[in-house]
Structure 1
């Protein structure tokens, strides 16, 4: 797995956009007590279910790879000249 430039910032952006997407899909909002791990896994599974990202192999499903998938997803959603992609 190749590290993406600004991956941490992209992941934060992916969580924000993903939460908004989930709310628009009718899911309840994440509570303040939900951990980042729970949000990442929930968003990953929602995007896989909606066929917006390719699922990981079952043996590769872990937090690190899910984070990476979310960062890749959001990097493709942002405009080419976005500051996080520079």
Structure 2
């Protein structure tokens, strides 16, 4: 899996938007002490459950692959010309 340009910023944006989406779906806010690893997995699983992203193969469900899926998801959500799409 090749690292994408702006991947760190895109992941941060995906977590932010993912958290907002989870709250609108009725899930509690993440505590300030919740690790990004937990947030990534929770948001990934919610998006899969809601069929907003395709699930990874069971043997490929690891942290880096989930991060990559979230980055791809947020890239599709951003409007054309957004600075992070560059």
Q: Same fold (TM over 0.5)?
A: yes
Secondary structure of the structure 2 residue equivalent to 1:33: coil
Higher RCO, 1 vs 2 (CA within 8 Å, ≥6 residues apart): 1
1:29 corresponds in structure 2 to 29
Structure 1, unaligned runs of 5 or more: none
TM-score by length of structure 1 reads 0.97
Aligned counterparts of 2:75 and 2:36: Cα–Cα separation in 1 = 19
- The number of residue pairs the alignment matches comes to 86
Q: CA RMSD in A?
A: 0.7
TM-score by length of structure 2 reads 0.97
Structure 2, unaligned runs of 5 or more: none
Divergent runs of 4+, >2 A? none
